Amino acid sequence: MWVTKTVEAVRRARGALRGRVALVPTMGALHAGHVALIEHGGRIADHVIVSVFVNPTQFGPNEDFTRYPRPFARDVEMAREAGAVGVFAPDVEEVYPPGDVACDVSVPALAGDLEGAQRPGHFAGVCRVVAKLLHMVSPDVACFGQKDYQQLRIVEAMARDLAMPYAIEAVPTVREPDGLALSSRNAYLSPEDRAHAVGLYRALCEARRMVENPNVAEADPRVVEAAMRQFIASYHLVVDYAELRHAKTLAKLETIDPAHTPEVVALVAARCGPVRLLDNTVLHVVH
Ligand code: AMP
């Protein structure tokens, strides 16, 4: 497996590959969720390239860019074990050459609220770096986790609207045995916080019960949202948001109506000690 740091080198290495190429963009600190993306890439393509880049433009001024974990040697080993053909790990100056004039890549209709409201500028940073990484590597397909649901929808919209010749592939969320979604930031959790963190998943399970169980079939999204907030708070987490949205457009819902929206997504975010945790699940609305 090769490791490259420059755009020129990754283009040369990619150009030498025959067959379909999948890109798995990551910020490193790889865990089983990233491994699932790499393995998924290996099933739908002949070769998988993993990018490892902690992207400064998607972090806010008071966020954890400088202290974000960077266990690079371990990441390379994990990518190799998961079957990647190469790792592209550019420096910040390679992705953002000093003196270059910045483009603004954004999807305003999807990026304004939820994570976008909590983290101003975050999705503009994500779109810009994902567009750059895609053009640098030129894969046939790029794999993104459903764990970052709003990001996934935004990247899909960006690729479609800008006619990017790359398919976007969604990969299901990998969870701990108790349901907590894997995240590189889980490493910041104290044992006590870790015990509380499962509250997000439990809130999603409650939403699933209320929407999918025919004996309940709750039709009012506000009732489900209030129940999720209550669940999250009962685990000593501080709720940022707990919302039901249209699964494709992320639009707010007036009612939960299978004729109108057969699929809704429950999206939750909460603070758990020093960590902001996100989770979501797609629900199939019953009559
Ligand atoms: P990150 O390194 O956090 O930027 O994530 C890189 C990719 O891995 C993104 O597409 C994430 O959605 C995905 N990802 C992160 N956590 C998980 C998980 N628990 N299960 C599946 N995919 C994940």
Output the pLDDT for position 260. Answer: 86
Q: Ligand 1 atom closest to Cα of 173?
A: 20
Residues 37-60 pLDDT 10s: 999 999 999 999 999 999 999 999
Residue 164's pLDDT band, with cuts at 50, 70 and 90, is very high
Instruction: Write the CB contacts of 66 (distance below 8 Å, at least 6 apart in sequence).
Output: none
- For residue 31, indicate whether it is catalytic: no
Helices (H) and strands (E) in the chain, counts: 11, 9
Whole-angstrom distance, CA of residue 214 vs CA of residue 20: 43
Pocket test for ligand 1, best of 23, 30, 37 (most atoms within 8 A of CB): 37
Q: Phi and psi for 212 in degrees, rounded to 5?
A: -95, -20
Compute, in angstroms, the gap from residue 12 CA to the centroid of ligand 1.
27
Compute, in angstroms, the gap from residue 260 CA to the centroid of ligand 1.
30
Output the pLDDT for position 287. Answer: 67
Residues 93-114 pLDDT 10s: 999 999 999 999 999 999 999 9
Whole-angstrom distance, CA of residue 11 vs CA of residue 84: 16
pTM (predicted TM-score): 0.97
Pocket test for ligand 1, best of 30, 34, 143 (most atoms within 8 A of CB): 34
Q: What residue type is assigned to position 70 of the chain?
A: R
Output the pLDDT for position 286. Answer: 78
